[in-house]
Amino acid sequence: MLRQFVLCVVTTLVLFSSTSALARRPNVSLIYTDDQGSVDVNCYGAKDLITPHMDSLAKRGVRFTQFYAAAPVCSPSRAALMTGRFPQRAGVPGNVSSAKGNAGMPAAQVTFAEMMKAGG
């Protein structure tokens, strides 16, 4: 499901940029936070936190209201987001640490950033 989402976004961006060669390509910023609950930003309903910068970004950009993380821990969740693959298929089934000899995601994995770069 996550891979389909990433492919859909990339396809939309590619189609958008190819239909108007002279059009300015969009800037894409993806903010992926660690250990943030579903209502930890004011624009999502937080009453006990002050988050003016995140609220401003949400007001001027796209605000997602439904999303699922691919894993309950950091490394595999990030690998899934960056590749659109399940963490196990992205080569990151659990948290990685250079101190433990786990270097991270295999370099052969193609990431969302690489696809965006290839699209200009």
Mean pLDDT computed over 6-19:
59
> Is the pLDDT assigned to residue 7 strictly greater than 50?
yes
pTM of structure:
0.65
> Residue 54's CB: how many other CB atoms inside 10 A?
20
Confidence of residue 79 (pLDDT cuts 50, 70, 90): very high
By C-alpha distance, which of 114, 57, 54 is closest to 82? Answer: 114
Q: Which amino acid is at 22?
A: L
State the pLDDT at residue 22.
Answer: 47
**Domain spans, the chain:** 1-26+71-120, 31-68
Mean pLDDT computed over 34-56:
88
State the pLDDT at residue 6.
Answer: 56
State the pLDDT at residue 76.
Answer: 93
